[in-house]
């Protein structure tokens, strides 16, 4: 066994692609999301991943519940050796940033930034207290929007830019402890979140928006997570890796 990976939002989309890759690499995986365990996508994910996967209902906005989540994972699978901070939401409404409401701003920040920070804080504390064992890593899934401004979804871009800085801060704090901290910036990935813009983005991708000429897949993200989680990138602590088919290069 390579260790225990906690993946927020791991029951679908990018998170499930990451879970598949980590199970394939020998990890036990804990999937955490606010949906109940009887949700269809949760049942489907657990059936696919098999005995190496467990599910935990957790609302990342409730930072006071983080210790109980980690206690539950530890009791069932063992101490978390890899956190994949993947849970995230898009802007509720796309539109003029001058019309953005505090409620919609806070909704995105509480999930994409505040919740992610305080869960990672709890995981890092426990990693520092644990006896020597498998390689330990924190992996933050952000977005190409961390560095590419989009005024019609300002709150999303701000949250991802903040998460990018969060990665750097955790890397500085934990590198000396042998804990790897990494950021992955997905581009246009085929998930339920992007299903509504599938046709529009397909036209733009084939028109040259993405130099690779195709949609990204959750498996593309999972393939990058594995070497980060297993220590193969240990001396690249703090690295931000775009997984976007060249999108961010083309837009610069």
DSSP one-letter string for 20-85? HHHHHTTEEEEEEESS-TTSHHHHHHHHHHGGGEEEEE--TT-GGGHHHHHHHHHHHT-S-SEEEE
CA distances from 25 to 18, 83, 116, 228 (A): 11, 15, 25, 12
Is 106 within 8 Å of 153 (Cβ atoms)? no
The residue from 55, 135, 156, 201 that is catalytic is: 156
In angstroms, rounded to a whole number, what is the distance separating the alpha carbons of residues 130 and 46?
28
Active site residue 156: yes
What pLDDT score was predicted for residue 251?
65
CB 153 within 8 A of CB 112: no
**pLDDT tens, the chain, 252 aa long:** 579 999 999 999 999 999 999 999 999 999 999 998 889 999 999 999 999 999 999 999 999 999 999 999 999 999 999 999 999 999 899 999 999 999 999 999 999 999 999 999 999 999 999 888 899 999 999 999 998 989 999 999 999 999 999 999 999 999 999 999 999 999 999 887 776 777 788 989 989 999 999 999 999 999 999 999 999 999 999 999 999 999 999 665
pLDDT of residue 252: 55
């Amino acid at each position: 066994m390579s260790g225990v990976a906690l993946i927020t939002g791991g029951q679908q989309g990018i998170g499930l692609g990451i879970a598949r890759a980590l199970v394939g690499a020998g990890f036990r995986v804990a999937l955490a999301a606010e949906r109940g365990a009887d949700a269809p996508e949760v049942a489907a994910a657990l059936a696919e991943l098999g005995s190496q996967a467990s599910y935990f209902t957790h609302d990342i906005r409730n930072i006071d519940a983080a210790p109980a989540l980690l206690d539950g994972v530890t009791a069932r699978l063992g101490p978390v050796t890899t956190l994949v901070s993947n849970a995230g939401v898009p802007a509720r409404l796309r539109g003029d940033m001058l019309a953005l409401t505090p409620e919609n701003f806070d909704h995105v920040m509480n999930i994409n930034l505040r919740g992610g920070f305080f869960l990672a804080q709890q995981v890092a504390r426990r990693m520092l207290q644990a006896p020597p064992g498998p390689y330990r890593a924190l992996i933050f899934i952000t977005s190409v929007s961390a560095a590419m401004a989009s005024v019609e979804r300002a709150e999303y871009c701000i949250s991802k830019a903040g998460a990018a800085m969060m990665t750097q801060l955790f890397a500085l704090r934990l590198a000396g402890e042998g804990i790897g901290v990494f950021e992955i910036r997905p581009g246009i990935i085929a998930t339920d979140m992007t299903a509504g813009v599938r046709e529009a983005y397909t036209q733009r991708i084939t028109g040259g928006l993405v130099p690779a000429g195709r949609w990204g897949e959750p498996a593309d993200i999972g393939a990058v997570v594995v070497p980060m989680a297993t220590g193969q990138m240990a001396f690249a602590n703090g690295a931000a890796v775009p997984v976007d088919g060249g999108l961010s290069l083309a837009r610069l």
